Amino acid sequence: MLSDIFAYHGDPQAATAVRDGQQTRPQRKGATAIVHIQGSLDREGTRGTSTEVAAELIKSAAADSAVDRILLRVNSPGGKVAGTSDLVDTIARARDKPILAYVQDQGTSAAYWIASQAKHIWANRTAIVGGIGIYSAIADASEMFNRMGVKVVTIRTGAHKGVGTFGTSISDEQQVELQRVVDSLNEQFLTGVSAGRRMSIDKVRELADGRVWTAPEAMKLGLIDGIGSFDDVLNLGTANADLKPLSAKDRFDAAVLAKVEGGADHQAAVRSVVAEQPDLQAAMHSEANPDRPRGTRSRSDLRERVAALGW
């Protein structure tokens, strides 16, 4: 049903039509097109979101004069490489309008690749983010077949044709070739995240070991830009939707606030963040912005700053 993956915010008539399963465009300007990226991802949408359908909806919203911005609502563990890269390219081409992403609970693997193409990414506080990288799993059941007295014979035209046929063994040479393919596809993933997040490829490689992070951790690492509720993001408005990327000082303040709200003493929280994130402190000094307040802020000041940033 169309309403499972597409809705409008800011135009009740269009929203009602979408809930009824009809693709009706907004009747007035200022609408936010919400595209849901949920469940397992593949072209057909067999167990979740169809990347092809999502791409078409984004194209439609990008071309619609009544839509001011596009919001990707992400709750997905990822999915197949096939289709994901096409959707990523579609999002990149649609960025004449502000595109935001909101990770609700999970945005990992292919889902993060997609979200990384948005200008800004928000997440709820307990969301899991990251999982950068790809993998392929092939069962080598040859020993089991041998014990059963079954021999699988592959008639093929080359040494690598039919690799992974169930019941056959996988040679070291074949495994090297499979790794080559995985590495090549993974390079596309890393390059996409680097471009989308405006992050150096070397930094992306450091993070691309398959690990996932909680939203506060992901924000410290620069994988997301803010933490808040879905309604918070909807209520930002198009003016705030085009915010500049968070500065190192903004991320430092957010990290300190997270520790303070967790019960830590303010100065102890500052020392902890400095010790845990020396690169962030160095980035703060390199910004060299004379208009930015120096030193640390009080707890109330931190809360006010975080609220102002839409977190």
pLDDT tier, 203 (very low <50, low <70, confident <90, very high otherwise): very high
- Report d(CA 47, CA 111) in Å as an integer: 14
- Domains (range + CATH), the chain: 1-131+211-243 (3.90.226.10), 135-208 (no CATH), 246-311 (no CATH)
Q: Over the stretch 39-86, which tens digit does the pLDDT of each residue have?
A: 999 888 878 899 999 999 999 999 998 888 999 999 999 998 888 999
Measured over the CA atoms of residue 287, residue 291, residue 296 and residue 302, the dihedral's sign is: negative
Q: Please tell me the pTM assigned to this model.
A: 0.68
Q: Over the stretch 21-33, which tens digit does the pLDDT of each residue have?
A: 344 444 445 788 9
Q: Over the stretch 123-182, which tens digit does the pLDDT of each residue have?
A: 999 999 999 998 888 888 888 888 888 888 888 787 778 787 787 888 888 888 888 999
- Report d(CA 251, CA 105) in Å as an integer: 21
Q: Over the stretch 231-256, which tens digit does the pLDDT of each residue have?
A: 888 877 544 444 444 566 766 776 77
Q: Can you say whether residue 289 is alpha, beta or left, with left for phi > 0 and alpha for psi between -120 and 50 degrees?
A: beta
